[in-house]
Structures are given as C-alpha cells and as structure tokens.
Amino acid sequence: MPGHYDFGIYARCNFRAALGGKETTEIRTDVKFSEMSVLFTVDGSAVKPVVVTHNNEGERNPFGPTYCYGIPGLIVEVMETSGHIAALTLYEATL
C-alpha cells in the first residue's frame, strides 16, 4: 500500500486467499483488516499484534507503526493509518 516503507521497492502482487472453516473469509489486496479480523481470534479473543516501528535497516518508519497479526500459516501486516494490508506472509505451519 502507498505509505508503507516498502512501497515502490517491490512489484505489487494482487492476491486472493480464501480462509476459514464453516464461514469462508476472502483476503484480497483491497480488503481492510477490519473486514477479516474475525480470522485472528483464539477462543473468541482477538490475537494481540506485534508492533513494527522500524524497517529492515533499523530506521524508524516515517509513516508510523504497522501491526503484525498471525495465525498458523499466515502473518498479516496492517498499516495503522489506513487499516489496509501492507504485507501478507504465508508459511508452512508445523506443530
């Protein structure tokens, strides 16, 4: 998203991912986190985010902090200012 400190460094990847059990929620590049936050709950309580205030070079993010929410296999980085998804990371969740 524009305003994220990695904006312009990478080519944008438009994505669609369907997640959920009985009720499927679709994650897309144009969906705000508030529309899919129900996926990030454990036993009915919201997952607490990891707050990212600096970029990979250790410099403070000039656009403000971002919030990383995770569930097994998925991490979503959300911009504080707009609520849009800045980055989506998929990984193999092994227990």
Q: Above 80 in pLDDT, residue 61?
A: no
pLDDT in tens, 1-57: 566 666 667 666 777 777 766 677 778 878 888 888 888 887 878 888 999 887 777
Distance between CA atoms of 75 and 68, rounded to whole angstroms? 6
Distance between CA atoms of 29 and 89, rounded to whole angstroms? 13
State mean pLDDT over 55-84.
84
- pTM passes above 0.85: no
